[in-house]
Amino acid sequence: MEKEKTLTDNRLKTPRAAAVAGILFSMLYITSLVLFRVSVPADPYDAGAWLAGGWKAVNLALYLLPFAGIAFLWFIGVLRDRIGIYEDRFFATVFLGSGLLFLAMLFASGAVAAGILISYNIAPGKFVESGIYTFGRTVVYQIVNVYAVKMAGVFMISICTVAVRTKIFPQWIALLGYAMALLLLLSTGYFYWTPLAFPLWVLLVSTYILLTNLRNKPDTAAPPAQS
């Protein structure tokens, strides 16, 4: 009986820990995006002059990115836990698929960006003139600003649809999520700071879930019935 009680207590603590991880993802990802945006020119075809003075800030952003990705996995976990038995196979597939694709592209773009910095530090002049910089810079731009943000938009739409049906968070958060998801899907490339919409929405959802869990503390598990 004591063992069953311990397992139940650990399970009940999981959503709270994951909600904190969602907030952590938001903070780390926002920090990384801001460092990228203020250090790297918006034009994907720039000549690479920023590498001489902005590579340290970008290097810090790349260091934070894997930790943001790990925290995002925990955030996916708390959403699935909150949906529980109401999870629909169709929306669960879209939800998990878009979330994991977003994470994979986030890591891929970070790896390419890290390769650009390392190659530049080895041979600054030759690297920029070789054309490899232009290729790598364009690849990172396309992954982050086109494909990754679209997967983030699909992720938000699927979760908001589930939320409207299951009430896992208030309807106004779901409606706001729809609006921000449409912004990600339709305005990519027009507004340089558009990708920030996704971590800001995750921050809102995670904060709501955390506050809800703190207000509704779980009761002590009842002992199992005797056979």
Looking at residue 91, its pLDDT comes to 72
Between 14 and 213, residue with greater pLDDT: 213
Is residue 208 exposed (0-12), middle (13-18) or buried (19+ Cβ within 10 Å)?
middle
224 falls within a domain? no
Cα–Cα nearest to 72, from 109, 103, 111: 103
221 falls within a domain? no
pLDDT-based confidence at residue 153 (cuts at 50, 70, 90): very high
119 falls within a domain? yes
CA angle, 82 then 83 then 87, to 5°: 155
Looking at residue 150, its pLDDT comes to 92
Q: Mean pLDDT over residues 1-28, rounded?
A: 65
Structural domain boundaries enclosing 22: 2-215
189 falls within a domain? yes
92 falls within a domain? yes
Q: Mean pLDDT over residues 210-219, rounded?
A: 70
pLDDT-based confidence at residue 14 (cuts at 50, 70, 90): low
Q: Mean pLDDT over residues 131-146, rounded?
A: 85
225 falls within a domain? no
Domain count, the chain: 1
223 falls within a domain? no
Q: Mean pLDDT over residues 127-138, rounded?
A: 78
121 falls within a domain? yes
Cβ contact 22:209 at 8 Å: yes
Q: Report whether pLDDT(7) > 50.
A: no
Other Cβ atoms within 10 Å of 182 Cβ, number? 14
Looking at residue 221, its pLDDT comes to 37
**In which residue are the tokens 């590579």 written?**
55
Calpha distance 4→20 (Å, rounded):
26
* Identity of residue 138: T
Looking at residue 30, its pLDDT comes to 95
CA angle, 182 then 62 then 35, to 5°: 65
Convert the pLDDT of each residue in 177-197 to its tens digit.
999 999 998 876 667 788 899
pLDDT-based confidence at residue 201 (cuts at 50, 70, 90): very high
Convert the pLDDT of each residue in 71-114 to its tens digit.
999 888 878 777 766 667 777 788 889 999 999 999 999 999 89
Tell me the DSSP string of 35-65: HHHHHS-S-TT--STTHHHHHHHHHHHHHHH
Convert the pLDDT of each residue in 22-79 to its tens digit.
899 999 999 999 998 888 877 777 767 777 777 788 889 999 999 999 999 988 887 8
